[in-house]
Amino acid sequence: MVLAAGRGERLRPLTDRIPKPLVEVRGEPLIVRHLRALRRAGITQVVVNLSWLGEKLRAALGDGAAFGLSITYSEEGPVPLETGGGIRRALAALTPGPFLVVSGDIWTDFDFSRLSLPAGSLAHLVLIPNPPHVPNGDFGLEGGRVVARADAAQRYTYGNIGLYTEEFFRGCDEERFPLIQPLNRAIAAGRLTGELYTGRWCDVGTPGRLTDLEAELAQVQ
């Protein structure tokens, strides 16, 4: 699943006319980069959730055939259901079995084919070293288990890439809710695992970050 329903407030006025996943980096829309990477990883069925300017995403991506994929769209209406609610609404199209979720507004060279779900885990997160805008991180990582303790030896930031199971969302009865709610339940149960990724990753959330990423990539590509 590629999460693509957000408004992209911090990228305005750019996102007043295009949805954030269609913002281009080096001439390629963020979501197109994801779709190509998913296909290289052997994934052929993708769900994209829609809200703000969703019709533009539909027009740009179509049925996915241009990328060697089959794309299903999950409509959320004018008010997005937040990350947790958006994934829960799409569960029927995502299960059975574990499924990968990636946010449509990040840029990364992460290889999706490397992900696997450890036995007994409800979800498995890709964590990254803390970027400047998240100096204190989100979670600790101890022996492959994600922990929430503020005194964890090292804290990292959730990289908006993960593997999830349907069981992870049991008990989520609201239509609209943040992902942190079931994440905290899985942590409390000792059933949330993770790994650290130190490659290229950027949350393209502001004009400044977009400009910095373009400049960085111009030097290496």
With a cut of 50, which residues of the chain have pLDDT below it? none
- Strand 24-25 relative to strand 106-108: parallel, antiparallel, unpaired? unpaired
In the chain, the domains with their CATH numbers are 2-220 (3.90.550.10)
Which stretches within the chain are classed as H helix? 30-40, 54-61, 82-89, 91-94, 180-188, 207-220
pTM as predicted: 0.93
- Strand 123-128 relative to strand 192-196: parallel, antiparallel, unpaired? parallel
Dump pLDDT digits (tens) for 132-153.
888 889 999 999 999 987 666 6
Distance CA 63, CA 53 (A): 17
pLDDT given for residue 80 in this prediction:
92
pLDDT given for residue 123 in this prediction:
98
pLDDT given for residue 205 in this prediction:
83
Dump pLDDT digits (tens) for 88-141.
999 999 988 999 999 999 999 999 999 999 999 999 999 999 998 888 899 999
